[in-house]
Amino acid sequence: MGRDLTALFDPVSVAVVGASDDPAKYGHTIAAQALRADGGRRPVHLVNRRGGTVLGRTAAPSLSALGEPVGLAVLSVPVAGFEETVDEALRCGARAIVAITAGFAETGEAGRARQLAVTERVRAAGAVMVGPNCLGIADNTTGLHLASDTFASGRVALLSQSGNLALELQLRFEPHCLGFSRFVSLGNQADITLVDLLADCARHDGTEAIAVYAEDFGDGRAFAEAAADAGKPVVLLSAGRGAASARSAQSHTGALTTSADVVAAACRDAGVELVATPRELTVALAALKGGRRAGGRRVAVLTDGGGHGVIAADVAEAAGLTVPELREPAQRMLRDVLWEQSAVVNPVDLAGMGEQDPGSYAATVATLLAAEEVDAVLLTGYFGGYAAAEGGLGGGGSALAAGEQEAARLIAARRTDSAKPLVVQSMYPGSPSCRTLEAAGIPVFDATEDAARALAVTVPRPRRVGVTPLPRPAPPLPGTGYLDTRRALEAAGLPFPAAREIHNETQLLAATEEFTGPYVLKALHLLHKSDAGGVALGLAGPGELLAAFRDMHARLGAPSYSVEEMADLSDGVELIVGVNRDPRFGPVAMVGLGGVLAEALHDVAFTLAPAPADRALHLLRGLRTASLLDGVRGRPPVDVAAAAHAVETITAFAAAHPEIAELEVNPLLVTPRGVLALDSRAVPA
C-alpha cells in the first residue's frame, strides 16, 4: 500500500515558519505562494520570530503562539534553529514537514548524523518530512502551493532534485498543453523518498504520468520495483550516468558495466521511459498524453513537399520505426482523394495540393489512419503555415487560412475514430491550426527528430518483465578463489570440465591418470590468468602438460594450479555471464559474447539480477552477434535454451551471495549439446 502522504498533499492547515517581507529570502517566496492559494480550503499561518506583519498578514512569533494545531509546517529557518523548530512543530501536532533548510547530509558526516536524528524524531511522532534541503512542494489538485513558482495545472506529477528544472519544464510544457498535478523537490530524502512519492503518485487520481529527475536514487532497486508497479507512464531524466563506476573494476564484468548501463537496464526491466534532456522528457510526455499506443512500428509519413517527407522518413527509421510501402487498397483510396501528381506510396506527398485545398490534409490523414499496414502517422512540413499569418503561401490569404483551420478541426475530430497515434512536425508550431491540434491531444513539434522520437515512445516495447525479487542470502562461501567459486557453482547446477588442484609434479601426473587429454593448465590465485600468462591450452598429453607446468611455475611461482580437461571448442560459441553489485541497484547481470576479447567486442546486454531464463533468452537474442547462436558458415546452431538456463543459475547464485562484489563466468561455452563453464572468477565485496 505504501506510506499515507495525505497530510503532506492535503493538510488541514499550513504554517510557513520563516515567512518574511524580504524578497531575497526564500521564506518570502513560499509565504507569498501559500497566501495566493488561501482560498478558504485550509488556514494558512505565517510565523516570524519577530512577530508583527508579513505580506500584510499578522505573523505569530512561534508555532506555539498560534494557539491551534498545525497540519503541515514549512520550515525556512537558519540551520542553527532547525531542530528546535522541528520539535516545536511536532509538539503542535504537525503531521507533515517540508524542510527547506539546508546544511545537513549534503555537508558531510556531522550533518548526516544531525539529519538522521531529526528524521528519527519525525518518524517517532508519526509524521512525514520532505527534505531537508528542498525547494518545496505543490499540488494543484488540492490547491497547495508551497514552492517558488506557480505551476500550470495538468496531469503530470514531477518529482525532481532540481527546482530550476521544474521551471524549464513549465516553459517547455506550455506549447503542448501539458501541466502539473504535483511538484515535489526531493531534497536529501531523509524521510520521504523518491520511492514513497512515486508510489503515492501512482495512486493519485489526478496524476496521469510521472516525471522524475534524479541524481541519487537512494534505493534504486526499490525505485525500479515501484515504477514497474505504478500502472502509469514513468519518464526518467537521469543525471550522473557516466563511466566512473567502472574505474576500479577487477573483472571484465565490472569494467564493462557503467552507471548508464545499470540505469538503462533497470528502466528497461521496469518499463520506464529513459530520457537524457528536458526536451526529450517533454517529447515523451507529450507523446504519452491521453494514453495512445501504436500497435507496431509502421509509420506513414505525410507531407506537402518532397524534402520534408524524405527527411522525416530517414529520421523515423533512425528512431527505430519503419516506413513501409502502402498496399494497393490504401494507395487506391489515396488516389481517389488526391490529384494525379501526388505520391501515394509512402512517404505520401500531396505535391502542392495542400495549397489549393487544405482539406486534402484531413482526408489523407483519415485514409492513412484507417490503413491496416499503418500503426501511426507522422504529418510533416508546412501544415500550420497557411493560418500563421494573413496572406499565406500562394496569396490565398484568409481563404487558405480558414481552410487550413477547418482541416485542423477535421483532423482533430477524425482522430477520435482511430486509436492510432498521430504526431505533427510543423514549421509553424504556434499557429492557430497547430494549437487546434494540440488542444485535441495531437502533439505538434518544430523538429522532425522530436516528432519521430514521440512516435517511437508509443510503439510496443518488449514485455515489461518487472524486477525479480532478490533471493534469500545463502551462507557465505568459505572463500572466493577460483576453485571455491567453481565448486559452489557446480553445486548450484552449472557444469564444468573435470579438474584437479595440484601443487607439484607428482600431483600433476596423478591427475593425468584420472582423465585424458588434451589438458588445460591454470595458475591459481591470479584474477586475470590469461593476461599474466597463467593459462596453457590444448596440452596433448602428460609430457606437454609437465613442460607447461615447469615453465609456468618458473615464471609465476603460483602456490597451486588447476589441471583440467580441455573442452572441444570447434562447434561452440563463447559467452560471458557476469554479475556486478551496484551500490544503488544491487546485483546487475550482464550477458554477451565472451572469451579473452570480451572487453574489446563489447557486445553485451544488462538486466537486474537474478535473471530468469526467459529474460536471459531475450537478452541473448538481442545481442548484435546473436546470429552466431543459430549457426553461420556451416556451423550448427547451439543450445540457446541451455545457455539461458545457465545465465539463470549464475545470476541467482550471485544474487544470493552479497559477499561477492563481482562474479564472472567467462567463457561459458555453448555447443549444440549444452553448456560448459570453462572459467570463473569472483571478487569479494
What CATH number did the domain enclosing 55 receive? 3.40.50.720
38 falls within a domain: yes
> Which tens digits make up the pLDDT trace of 204-246?
999 999 999 988 788 999 999 999 999 999 999 987 555 544 4
pLDDT at 256 over 80: no
> Which tens digits make up the pLDDT trace of 493-504?
999 999 999 999
82 falls within a domain: yes
Q: What is the pLDDT at residue 464?
A: 60
One domain for residues 642 and 679: yes
One domain for residues 306 and 286: no
One domain for residues 238 and 265: yes
One domain for residues 405 and 517: no
Residue 459, amino acid: V
245 falls within a domain: yes
476 falls within a domain: no
Question: How many domains are contained in the chain?
Answer: 5
Name the least confident of 153-157, 314-318, 632-636: 632-636
Number of Cα atoms under 13 Å in the Cβ half of residue 365: 32
Please tell me the pTM assigned to this model: 0.90
Which three cell numbers, joined as nine digits, stand for 91?
Answer: 509538539
Are 550 and 536 in contact by the 8 Å Cβ rule? The answer is no
472 falls within a domain: no
Which of 249, 267, 292 is the last residue before a domain boundary?
292
Are 414 and 457 in contact by the 8 Å Cβ rule? The answer is no
One domain for residues 601 and 674: yes
Are 443 and 464 in contact by the 8 Å Cβ rule? The answer is no
One domain for residues 582 and 451: no
Q: What is the pLDDT at residue 466?
A: 83
Burial 637-663 (b: 16+ CB within 10 A, else e): ebbbebbbbbbbbbbbbbbbbeebbbb
Mean pLDDT of the chain: 91
Are 34 and 146 in contact by the 8 Å Cβ rule? The answer is yes
57 falls within a domain: yes
Which of 565, 592, 620 is the last residue before a domain boundary?
565
- Taking residues 86-103, what's their average pLDDT? 97
Which of 249, 271, 292 is the last residue before a domain boundary?
292
Name the least confident of 85-99, 248-262, 460-474: 248-262
CA-to-CA separations, 549 to 328, 369, 507, in angstroms, rounded: 72, 72, 11
474 falls within a domain: no
Beta-strand relationship, 376-381 and 299-303: parallel
CB atoms under 10 Å from CB of 262, counted, come to 23
pLDDT at 153 over 90: yes
> Which tens digits make up the pLDDT trace of 528-561?
677 788 999 999 999 999 999 999 999 999 999 9
Please give the Cα distance from 135 to 10 (Å, whole number). Answer: 18
- CATH number of domain containing 540: 3.30.1490.20
One domain for residues 528 and 639: no
One domain for residues 285 and 308: no
pLDDT at 170 over 80: yes
- What residues make up the domain containing 554? 498-565
One domain for residues 17 and 129: yes
Q: What is the pLDDT at residue 292?
A: 86
Q: Which residue has the higher pLDDT, 462 or 139?
A: 139
- Taking residues 94-102, what's their average pLDDT? 97
pLDDT at 424 over 60: yes
Measuring CA to CA, which residue among 640, 671, 675, 647 is closest to residue 569? 671
pLDDT at 269 over 50: yes
pLDDT at 508 over 50: yes
One domain for residues 304 and 284: no
Residue 603's pLDDT band (cuts 50, 70, 90): confident
Q: What is the pLDDT at residue 597?
A: 66
One domain for residues 274 and 312: no
The SS3 of residue 682 is: strand
- CATH number of domain containing 607: 3.30.470.20
The C-alpha angle 61, 64, 70, rounded to 5 degrees, equals: 110
One domain for residues 561 and 580: no
The C-alpha angle 604, 605, 607, rounded to 5 degrees, equals: 145
Residue 364, amino acid: T
470 falls within a domain: no
1 class by beta-carbon count within 10 Å (0-12 exposed, 13-18 middle, 19+ buried): exposed
User: Which position has the grid cell 496521469?
Assistant: 208
- CATH number of domain containing 264: 3.40.50.261
The helix or strand, by DSSP H or E, that contains position 256, with its residue range, turns out to be helix 252-256
**Looking at beta carbons, which pairs linking 336-341 to residues 24 or more positions away fall under 8 Å?**
337/363, 337/364, 337/367, 338/364
Residue 396's pLDDT band (cuts 50, 70, 90): very low
